[in-house]
Amino acid sequence: MTHLPVLVVLVPLVAALLIPVLALGSARAARIFALAALLLTQAMADLALHRVLVAGTWHYRLGGWAPPWGIEYVLDPLSGGMAVLVSFMALLTAIYAGPHLAGATRIRSGTFHALFLLLAAGLLGIVVTGDVFNLYVFLEISSLAGYALLASGTPRAAVATFRYLLVGTVAATFYLLGIGFFYAATGTLNMADLGARLAGGADPTLVGMGVALVTVGLAVKSAVYPLHGWLPDAYSHAPASVIPFVAAVMSKVGAYALFRMLYFVVGTAGAGGEALRLLGLAAAVAVVAGSAMALAQRDVRRMLAYSSVGQMGYVIMGFAIGNAAGVTGALLHILNHAVMKGCLFMSGGAVAWRTRVTSVREYAGMARRLPLTMAGFSLAALSMIGLPPTCGFFSKWYLVLGALQRGAWPFVVALVASSLMTAAYFLRLLERAYFGEAEAPPAGERRTPELPLSLLAPVLVLALGTLALGIFNQSIVTAVIRHALPGGL
């Protein structure tokens, strides 16, 4: 119990190292072990968040070394909430991956599970660490595992991933260089200590360089327009077994790191505020451009990928709005979009798994062929458009509220325009799926249930999740997000 903050990272990390050995014996044993490790991680994250909400922020000293000399893990309502989200999406996607891996060799299945847990461990590490260099290491652990997983799709995935690797490594190197400037200015790497020393006054040139480099680095990782170029190709060629997890949380964890650095370490006065102003401009373009590009796509996965560019813009815009309502909207949208986009990629992947259909045109009549899957897809799509009582409505509500309070009219216009385009690209697909003429489905496709349970259950859990998060949004905001806001908001 006392070691919970580090165990959340260590359990998936150690499991990732053991899985290849287990897989040599039996792929089934390795898979069960991986699922058990993720289940344990999720339970520990839940427990940790519960304790943090009851007893306050939890500081854990790695190896007993006191900060700022030692590495510190910090669980607060923000990092605790992110840990719950990441571990939950990891568990659900790992379950969902089962049928996609059918027929894979022992080595392939073992490698997949090992890399998947490594990715989860890296993302959880980013979330819980209180040390800026430790964050860099976890950023690279998650990225390397992510590259390997994304590249395991079609041959084109290797090309897309190589580009992502170059861009991602440059981004991480910028982040590291930025940390170097912070270290030169203050002589510390601990987030809390760094924050205090920066607030106490440090060389503004060094701090300015640090903020600029860290912001650009993390903005690439969270695919902020116009630094999103790697995302559409990487997402649309990746294997369906990984993409729900990657699309749901990987860029969100980047946005979390950006938020943590700008609001909790650098502070929004001075260079941090300048960075947020620029990010706000980028976000306003992103929400419109991302949705417009999604509207132009013919492939469903590509459409969802461009939609993610727009939706990340919502999150960043909330940070840039910078008042309580705006930041609440951004944090709520991290959660909501993870659930919605996870559900959309899962149901899209399930459709492709059963019918080989990936283009919007061929979705005609799909609701009659796979009614439950399409019901899940539709619920998540309606939430993306922002229809109450689904969760997508409430995060947009907070964002619009925050923008209005600040009198930031361009943001309001961008949000409304983007919502209309989101409605256009999803309704176009739903209209085909429900009212389109089905191309005669191959004989013998009628089956009950329409999909294996391990594909269908995660889709339905997330689809119902969009409803549940919407209905209970008020309690999520008051119980967790209100406490996750930085001091002074």
Partner 1 sequence: MGLGHANYLLAAALLLLGLHGLVTRPNLVRKLMAMSVLQVAVIMFFLSLAAKDRAHPPIVLDGPVVRARDYINPLPHALMLTAIVVSVSTTGVALALLIRIHRRYGTLEEPELLERLRE
Q: Which of 62, 101, 184, 292 binds partner 1 (CB under 8 A)?
A: 184
Interaction of residue 298 with partner 1, rule CB under 8 A = no
Select from 180-188, 268-276, 293-301, 471-479 the region that touches partner 1 (CB under 8 A): 180-188
Q: 324: part of which helix (H) or strand (E)?
A: helix 324-355
Buried/exposed code over 149-180 (b: 16+ C-beta within 10 A; e: otherwise)? bbbbbeeebeebbeebbebbeebbebbbbbbe
Helix (H) / strand (E) element for 72: namely strand 72-75
Distance separating alpha carbons of residues 431 and 447, to the nearest angstrom: 24
Check binding of 137 to partner 1 (CB under 8 A): yes
Least Cβ distance, residue 140 to partner 1 (angstroms): 5
Nearest Cα to 221, choosing from 297, 157, 165?
165
User: Is 330 within 8 Å of 399 (Cβ atoms)?
Assistant: yes
Residue 147 as a binder of partner 1 (CB under 8 A): the answer is: yes
Residue 170 lies near partner 1 (rule: CB under 8 A): yes
159 binds partner 1 (CB under 8 A): yes
Among 46, 51, 53, 133, binds partner 1 (CB under 8 A): 133
Residues whose CB is less than 8 angstroms from the CB of residue 313 and which lie 6 or more positions away in sequence, other chains included: 224, 225, 282, 283, 284, 285, 286, 287, 290, 418
Strand partners, 59: 74
Roughly what angle, to the nearest 10 degrees, separates helices 409-435 and 391-406? Answer: 160
Structure tokens at 266: 């650098």
Which residue's CB is nearer to partner 1, number 175 or number 264? 175
Could you say whether residue 165 binds partner 1 (CB under 8 A)? Answer: yes
Residue 166 lies near partner 1 (rule: CB under 8 A)? yes
Part in contact with partner 1 (CB under 8 A); list of ranges 19-27, 172-180, 290-298, 422-430? 172-180
Buried (b) or exposed (e) across 186-224, using 16+ Cβ within 10 A?
Answer: bebbbbbbbbebbeeebeeebbbbbbbbbbbbbbbbbbb
Does the protein bind partner 1 through residue 156 (CB under 8 A)? yes
Query: Of the listed pieces 153-161, 348-356, 364-372, 460-468, which binds partner 1 according to CB under 8 A?
Result: 153-161
Q: Which of 148, 234, 243, 370 binds partner 1 (CB under 8 A)?
A: 148
The residue among 101 and 177 lying less far from partner 1, judged by its C-beta, is 177
DSSP label at 129?
B
Residues in the chain: 489
- 206 near partner 1, rule: CB under 8 A: no
Identified binder of partner 1 from the candidate list 45, 151, 287, 477, rule CB under 8 A: 151
Among 63, 103, 155, 407, binds partner 1 (CB under 8 A): 155
Q: Is 407 left (phi over 0), alpha (psi -120 to 50) or beta?
A: left
Structural contact between residues 148 and 142, judged by C-beta atoms closer than 8 angstroms: no
Q: Give the residue, chosen from 26, 169, 323, 454, that forms a contact with partner 1 under the rule CB under 8 A.
A: 169
Nearer CB in complex with partner 1: 173/323: 173
378 binds partner 1 (CB under 8 A): no
Residues that bind partner 1 (CB under 8 A): 133, 136-137, 140, 144, 147-148, 151, 155-156, 158-159, 161-162, 165-166, 169-170, 172-173, 176-177, 180, 183-184
